[in-house]
């Protein structure tokens, strides 16, 4: 049990996919304009991570080693298609906001990275918790970035005004603001790490 | 199909919606391999080739395989597999025909399989040049041209970035900001300057 908790929590802080492993940054930057988009993207990616980790760990013994990557990609793409269709059916607004970045979860390095590094070596229960932890870590990182960007860029978070009379800095809602925020955050995490060491 | 349309595709995909600086596609190699101009150029040449080839193949598959059989929902799955196979094929052909070029591209060609710029370009082409499940007139040429232009935009951003980073090697930067963080901050400033092409919206 303790091992499972460890698998779950490592993805959140110690091996956070975004800030520590620096994986899957493309969607992180693109959808972090607002917290609502970030949560949607995080949930979609977590679903894909969970599903593909569990399935890959279950069928790992039947997959020949040489063609394992194409097999993984097919499994991942299946889950991406499921979430794509669900989004289109139940939340067209979110689907439009996330745009091409939903199909692009397929090539997100976090998903394939976990499949290759963890799910194809472990049983399905620990893969489940590993996938869940990584997904939650990814979602939290997305929420952090998007909260900073949404607050600075529009003065609101999820539609609530936090400080009255705050003049929004539009550039944070634009691509260059995303790059600046992630650059400074990565620097901050490096600083904290070096202080600790 | 007219020359004006091609010009607007060129300007919008090279400058206004630059693959890296505005759409954030293919960021990993952008920060990882942009330290040296030569390598950056090899990488972006490889990306341009693959994006163009992928645009051709994915358009044909969507038009003649997925649409007639009502399989449009298999788009993501089929495109990923086709791109992976295509990259392998290009690698084999280049290795046989031109060992010099093969050595220049090196491992970058294999890495492109998981580069989101390629799949992103394919999906964007389909989103833009198919209306209500039907190809717009000249759709094929637009798609291929847009793929090629996105490759050009990628090359442009890579070359600018590697030029800046080569000079930065000599500068004294805070240790916490070294490498990745600084690369992102530079990219942010670059992206800010590229915003001039689209104009500010208030």
CA A5 – CA A158 distance, rounded (Å)? 31
Nearest chain A residue to B20, by CA: A26
On whether residue A97 sits in a domain, the answer given is yes
Task: Give the domain range for residue B79.
Answer: 24-173
Residue B19, C-beta contacts closer than 8 angstroms, at least 6 positions apart: B13, B25, B26, B117, B120, B121, B150, B153, B154, B157
Rounded to 5 degrees, what angle do the CA atoms B155, B201, A166 make?
115
A37 touches A91 (CB < 8 A): no
To the question of pTM greater than 0.90 for the whole model, the response is no
The pLDDT value given to residue B29: 76
Q: Which of B74, B78, B123, B184 to mutate to test the interface with A (most CBs of A within 10 A)?
A: B184
H or E, element range at B130 = strand B130-131
Instruction: Provide the token pair at B20.
Output: 């890296």
pLDDT at site B56: 92
Q: Return the SS3 of B106.
A: coil
d(CA B192, CA B42): 26
For residues A98-122, one letter each, b for 16 or more C-beta atoms within 10 angstroms of the residue's C-beta and e for the rest, the string is: bbbbbbbbbbbbbbbbbbeebbbeb
Cross-strand pairs, A160: A157
Residue B38 contacts by C-beta under 8 Å, 6 or more apart in sequence? none
Angle of the A124-154 helix axis to the A35-59 helix axis, nearest 10: 170
Residue with tokens 């000249």: B138
Say how many residues make up chain B: 202
Give how many domains chain B has, as a whole number.
1
Instruction: State residue A80's pLDDT score.
Output: 92
**Nearest beta carbon to residue A107 from set B21, B116, B190:** B116
Tell me which residue of B48, B20, B12, B7 sits closest to B160, measured CA to CA: B20
Percentage of residues in chain B having pLDDT higher than 70: 96
Residue B109 has pLDDT above 90, yes or no: no
Answer yes or no: is B116 within a domain.
Answer: yes
Residue B164 lies in a domain: yes
> Which residues 96-135 in chain A show a CB within 8 A of chain B?
99-100, 103-104, 106-109, 112
Mean confidence (pLDDT) of chain B: 84
DSSP 8-class letter at A63: S
CB-CB: which of B80, B175, B200 is closest to A77?
B80
Among partner residues A104, A186, A187, which is closest to B119 by beta-carbon distance?
A: A104
Q: Exposed (0-12), middle (13-18) or buried (19+): which is B174, by Cβ within 10 Å? A: exposed
pLDDT tens-digit map of B174-192: 887 887 888 888 889 988 8
Residue A58: domain span: 2-144
Rounded CA gap, B18 and A192, in Å? 33
Q: How far is A87 from chain B (nearest CA, A)?
A: 13
In a domain, B178, yes or no: no
Does ipTM top 0.95? no
Mutate to test the interface with A, among B17, B188, B190 (most CBs of A within 10 A): B188
Cβ distance B116 to A25 less than 8 Å, yes or no, reads no
Closest CA to A44 of A123, A101, A112: A101
- Window A:64-83, CB contacts with B under 8 Å: 69-70, 73-74, 77-78, 80-81
CA distance B44 to B104: 12
Q: How confident is the model at residue B49 (pLDDT cuts 50, 70, 90)?
A: confident
Q: What is the pLDDT of residue B200?
A: 59
Q: What's the pLDDT score for residue B199?
A: 66
Chain A interface disruption, residue of B70, B72, B82, B116, most A CBs within 10 A: B116
Classify residue A160: in a domain, yes or no. no
Handedness of CA B21, B27, B29, B33 (dihedral sign): positive
* Residue B16 in this model has a pLDDT that exceeds 90: no
Helix, strand, or coil (residue B2): coil
Contact A81 B77 (CB under 8 A): yes
Q: What is the structure's pLDDT at B149?
A: 93
Confidence check: pLDDT of B201 > 60: no
Q: Whole-angstrom Cα distance, residue B158 to residue B46?
A: 12
In a domain, A117, yes or no: yes
CB A49 within 8 A of CB A110: yes
Instruction: For chain B, list residues whose CB is within 8 angstroms of any CB belonging to chain A.
Output: 21-28, 73-77, 79-81, 84, 114-116, 119-120, 123-124, 127, 174-178, 180-185, 187-192, 195, 200, 202
> How many angstroms separate the CA of residue B25 from the nearest CA in chain A?
6
Q: What's the longest Cα–Cα distance across chain A? A: 62
pLDDT means per 10 residues, chain A with 197 residues, are: 77 76 77 87 91 89 82 90 91 86 84 81 85 89 89 79 76 85 87 82
Mean pLDDT to the nearest integer, B107-131 = 81
Q: pLDDT for B78-106, tens place per residue?
A: 988 888 888 888 888 888 887 877 777 76
Q: Is residue A168 part of a domain?
A: no
B73, B183, B189 member nearest A81 (Cβ): B73
Q: Is B138 helix (H, G, I), strand (E, B) or coil?
A: coil
| Number of domains chain A contains | 1
For chain B, state the CA radius of gyration: 18
Interatomic CA distance for residues B178 and B174, integer angstroms:
7
In the predicted structure, residue B202 carries a pLDDT above the cut 60: no
Residue B14 maps to a domain: no
| A188 in a structural domain | no
B30 close to B157: Cβ distance less than 8 angstroms: yes
What would the two tokens of residue B6 be? Answer: 């091609």
- The yes-or-no verdict on residue B173 having pLDDT over 80 is yes
What pLDDT score does A102 carry?
A: 86
Closest alpha carbon within chain A to B125: A100
A194 in any annotated domain: no
Q: How far apart are CA A137 and CA A143, in angstroms?
A: 10
- A178 domain residue, yes or no: no
User: Helices B139-168 and B116-129, interaxial angle, to 10°?
Assistant: 150
The pLDDT of residue B137 is: 82
Give the model's pLDDT for residue B153. 92
All residues of chain B having their beta carbon less than 8 Å from the beta carbon of residue A78 are 77
């Amino acid at each position: 049990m303790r091992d499972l908790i460890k698998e779950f929590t490592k993805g959140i802080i110690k091996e956070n996919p975004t800030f520590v492993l620096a994986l899957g940054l493309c969607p992180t930057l693109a959808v972090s304009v607002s917290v609502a988009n970030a949560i949607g993207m995080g949930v979609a990616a977590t679903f894909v991570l969970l599903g593909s980790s569990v399935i890959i760990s279950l069928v790992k013994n039947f997959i020949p080693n040489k063609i394992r990557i194409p097999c993984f990609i097919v499994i991942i793409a299946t889950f991406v298609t499921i979430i794509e269709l669900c989004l289109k059916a139940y939340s067209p607004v979110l689907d439009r906001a996330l745009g091409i970045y939903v199909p692009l979860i397929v090539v997100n390095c976090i998903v394939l990275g976990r499949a290759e590094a963890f799910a194809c070596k472990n049983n399905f229960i620990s893969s489940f918790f590993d996938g869940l932890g990584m997904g939650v870590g990814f979602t939290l990182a997305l929420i952090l970035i998007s909260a900073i960007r949404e607050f600075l860029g529009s003065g609101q978070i999820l539609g609530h005004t936090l400080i009255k009379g705050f003049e929004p800095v539009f550039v944070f809602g634009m691509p260059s603001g995303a790059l600046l925020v992630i650059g400074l955050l990565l620097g901050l995490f490096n600083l904290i790490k070096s202080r600790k060491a | 199909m007219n020359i004006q349309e091609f010009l607007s595709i060129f300007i919008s995909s090279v400058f206004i919606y630059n693959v890296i600086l505005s759409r954030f596609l293919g960021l990993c190699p952008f920060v990882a391999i942009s330290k040296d101009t030569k390598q950056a150029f090899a990488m972006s040449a490889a990306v341009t080739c693959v994006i163009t080839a992928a645009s051709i193949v994915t358009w044909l598959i969507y038009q003649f395989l997925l649409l007639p059989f009502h399989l449009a929902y298999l788009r993501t799955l089929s495109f990923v597999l086709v791109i992976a196979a295509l990259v392998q094929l290009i690698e084999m052909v280049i290795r046989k025909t031109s060992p010099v070029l093969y050595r220049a591209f090196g491992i970058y060609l294999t890495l492109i399989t998981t580069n989101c710029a390629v799949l992103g370009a394919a999906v964007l082409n389909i989103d833009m040049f198919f209306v209500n499940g039907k190809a717009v007139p000249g759709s094929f040429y637009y798609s291929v041209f847009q793929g090629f232009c996105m490759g050009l935009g990628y090359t442009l951003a890579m070359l600018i970035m590697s030029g800046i980073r080569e000079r930065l090697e000599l500068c004294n930067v805070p240790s916490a900001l070294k490498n990745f963080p600084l690369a992102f901050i530079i990219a942010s400033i670059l992206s800010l300057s590229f915003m001039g092409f689209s104009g500010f919206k208030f």
